[in-house]
A and B are shown apart, each in its own frame.
Chain A
Amino acid sequence: MTRMLNELLDRARLLVVTGKGGTGKTTVAGALAMAAARRGRRTLVLEVEGRQGLAALFGHPSLGYRETMVAEGVMGLAVDPEESLREYLGRYGAAPLARLLSWARLTRFITAAAPGLGDILLVGKVWEATTRQRQTTRAAPAPGRTGGALSAPPVNTPSSYYDLVVLDAPPTGRIVPFLRAPETVAELARVGPIRHQAERVRELLDDPALTRMVLVCLPEELPVTETLESASLLRAARLPLGPVVANRISADRLGARGGRLAALAREPEPLAEAARQAGAELDGKALATLIGEARDQRRRVEAERRLLRELRAGLPELPVVELPLLLDGVNGAADVATLAERLTDDPTPRADRVRA
């Protein structure tokens, strides 16, 4: 299951991480970036929704429009949608108008009148970072800001600035309009720079050798339904799908032995005997508590299994990689590193697959 993911981490140029809100897109994007960096790739992880989620994830002061190291081998960048729109409008001489109306009102209006514009700028930035070339005059690439050159050479050359860009993308409800914004506008502009750039962006996004969509899901009813729906939407938009990451999976310590719990709840004597022999002072009440907790956990694990089976059955051609629920939440680079390891090792016992 992880083979496809490892291959992607080694070869893909752009991973677009999306999912229903609250499923852990930012965490998974950070973990993927770290996993790739550990496999020796120069990696950039990029967010575009102005949330500063990456900074919070890596325990880093807030990120700006300048690429910053967030973990070993991982650069981070937060592109603020409002600010990039502002900068763009400023180039068109909108400053006097903005002084009269305020930037906030102006950008809101422009967003309504030309809805794809903000997204075009953001997707353009993703494309620029992915296709950026190292400057041959310099020995080592100095991270920093570069313009959105429209005439960069083809991707996947040894001189690429970043080997892999991981995009912490908008949620599934918005992902297709977001990625296809340049094209939507290009349909109106039949020639010229916008059309040209839209074609370049499309070449990058549509090529399964370069780009994959990674859907993040939780083992809960709504997220699973939404993941299945999103996969068909992405497929209809001809965007190449990659692995699905099932996040926050409960631990199943007991495995098949969990089947004995119901009998032990009725007759706990075998456990009481084991406790006595080992010198553990556990009375009937304590044993009932232990068994009750284990049965609750087992019910949850079974509900999660059922949902994961639904997910796998709905997406038979895609690998589903599981990430464990971290008890204390994900706090800082060390926890992201733990998840990165799990992504590439996948030591999860997979009883359901054995049975299937």
Chain B
Amino acid sequence: MSPARARRSRAAAGAGRTAAADRSQLDEVVRTARIVVCCGSGGVGKTSTAAALAVRAAEQGRRTCVLTIDPARRLAQALGLDLLSNTPSPVEKGLRGSGSLDAMMLDMRRTFDELIERYARDQEQADRILANRFYQRVSSTLAGTQEYMAMEKLYELHESRRWELLVVDTPPTRSALDFLDAPDNLNELLDARMFRLLIAPAQRIGRGYLRGLNLATTAMARMVRRLTGSELLAEVGEFFAAFEGMYEGFRSRAQRVYDLLKDPGTQFVVVATPDAPALREAAYLASRLAADRMPIGALVVNRVHQAGQVPAVPAAATARLAAGSDDARLLADLLAQHQTLEALAAAEQRRVRALMASLPSLPAVQVPLLADDVHDLPGLRRLGSRLFA
């Protein structure tokens, strides 16, 4: 059963929602999806989650590739990431089963350069753009470029058809869904018509009723010139001149990337922690994905505190412990620590349940806080054992 259909049937069944069912749902996602996009606010464990999903798929026999943006040093080492190649390289050590796992870390600048080379008429046009100062700045500093390049690389890997499953981790952005808007934003920027209006209004728009606009654009150009120097403005002009003819190619590519994200073979996994801000961001993400009709596969809540079962101890007994021997006082502290943990776990559950209630048809998997950082394959496997049924 496809994840979407399973979700519908489960939603129709109503109250039959259990943690185990939600975990098997996530299992279904890595068994059947062709693309999994992990998104969420910064610091919630997106990269580890993406890597754990990829390890699971690979060990179940799928040809899998994980694309990460900014992995922790030790996780990168564990995955054997070659930071320089901007292409996937196999994770050989310690993988079990018949599948395969490749991993790569995105080099945003290289990806953009490759895109230019692909769409340039000839090497000469490509070289002119790559050497342009404005391009160099836009390609590395413009907000949204990193997001777009992640999606672009994903599309390229998808097109190569070398893998059955691609797992991608999205960059930490101010708004976690910038990557959905990034193609549009970049395209607008590259739309040379705007540049013509701004830089060369007089030649392009000679009509009287636009004279006010002419004055405005001239003033703008003057301001830009004053801020950045006329040299840079000339570079901007050269960039757009060099870019001539490539815009259409870029635009249709961006459209295809967007379509790929909407494809039912793509599943978004929203990642959060039980902190209020991370859950707020997750709620926003889920609603935004739904509004864009993007397929959401599951919600993963990492680092959830869990308290074990301990019978209540009467206050009088607690007081006697606190006033007793070293061991008694230690036990009193263990009990107090347990109560703190219980209160924390309960507060987290209230917040997580409130979010789940607002997303009734979305499978939610909670991963308990692990005592150690996840930084190797066994660690990713341990994480996986909490993610899946």
B223 touches A92 (CB 8 A): yes
Partner of A96, one of B216, B326, B334: B216
A100 touches B213 (CB 8 A): yes
Q: Which of A216-231 contact B (CB under 8 A)?
A: 218, 220-223, 225
Tally of contact residues, B, Cβ under 8 A: 76
B330 touches A254 (CB 8 A): yes
A229 CA to B41 CA, complexed, in Å: 22
* Stretch with Cβ within 8 A of B (4 or more), from A138-146, A158-166, A201-209, A284-292: A284-292
A280 CA to B311 CA, complexed, in Å: 9
A270 CA to B335 CA, complexed, in Å: 15
Q: Does B333 contact A (CB under 8 A)?
A: yes
B373 touches A303 (CB 8 A): yes
Shortest distance from the beta carbon of A272 to any chain B beta carbon, whole Å: 9
Interface of B: prevailing SS: helix
CB contact under 8 A between A331 and B197, given known A274-B321, A279-B314, A294-B337 = no
A222 touches B72 (CB 8 A): yes
B310 touches A327 (CB 8 A): no
B197 touches A97 (CB 8 A): yes
Q: Does B309 contact A (CB under 8 A)?
A: yes
Which residue on A lies nearest to B318, using beta carbons?
Answer: A280
Q: Does A212 contact B (CB under 8 A)?
A: no
Which residue on B lies nearest to A326, using beta carbons?
Answer: B344
Tally of contact residues, A, Cβ under 8 A: 70
Q: Does B93 contact A (CB under 8 A)?
A: no
Q: Does B188 contact A (CB under 8 A)?
A: yes
B331 touches A274 (CB 8 A): yes
B336 touches A286 (CB 8 A): no
CB contact under 8 A between A327 and B343, given known A101-B197, A115-B137 = yes
* Stretch with Cβ within 8 A of B (4 or more), from A20-28, A64-72, A232-240: A20-28
Which residues of B are found within 8 Å of A51, using beta-carbon distances? 174
Shortest distance from the beta carbon of A73 to any chain B beta carbon, whole Å: 25
A273 touches B224 (CB 8 A): no
Shortest distance from the beta carbon of B215 to any chain A beta carbon, whole Å: 7
Partner of B313, one of A108, A281, A300: A281
Which residue on B lies nearest to A120, using beta carbons?
Answer: B227
Interface of A: prevailing SS: helix
B313 touches A112 (CB 8 A): no
Q: Does B6 contact A (CB under 8 A)?
A: no
A331 CA to B275 CA, complexed, in Å: 11
A97 touches B220 (CB 8 A): yes
CB contact under 8 A between A112 and B197, given known A97-B213, A189-B226, A278-B328 = no
A22 CA to B325 CA, complexed, in Å: 43
Q: Which of B304-345 contact A (CB under 8 A)?
A: 307-311, 313-314, 316-318, 320-321, 324-328, 330-331, 333-338, 340-341, 343-344
A299 touches B372 (CB 8 A): yes
CB contact under 8 A between A254 and B333, given known A23-B43, A97-B216, A281-B313 = yes
Q: Which of A45-60 contact B (CB under 8 A)?
A: 49, 51, 56
B337 touches A293 (CB 8 A): yes
B331 touches A271 (CB 8 A): yes
23 CB contacts below 8 A, A to B, read A21-B43, A21-B172, A23-B43, A89-B223, A94-B216, A97-B216, A108-B189, A109-B189, A111-B143, A188-B227, A221-B72, A254-B337, A274-B330, A280-B314, A280-B321, A280-B335, A281-B311, A282-B313, A286-B311, A290-B337, A294-B334, A300-B371, A303-B371
What 6 A-B pairs have minimum CB-CB distances, sorted nearest first?
A22-B43, A289-B308, A21-B42, A278-B320, A274-B328, A280-B317
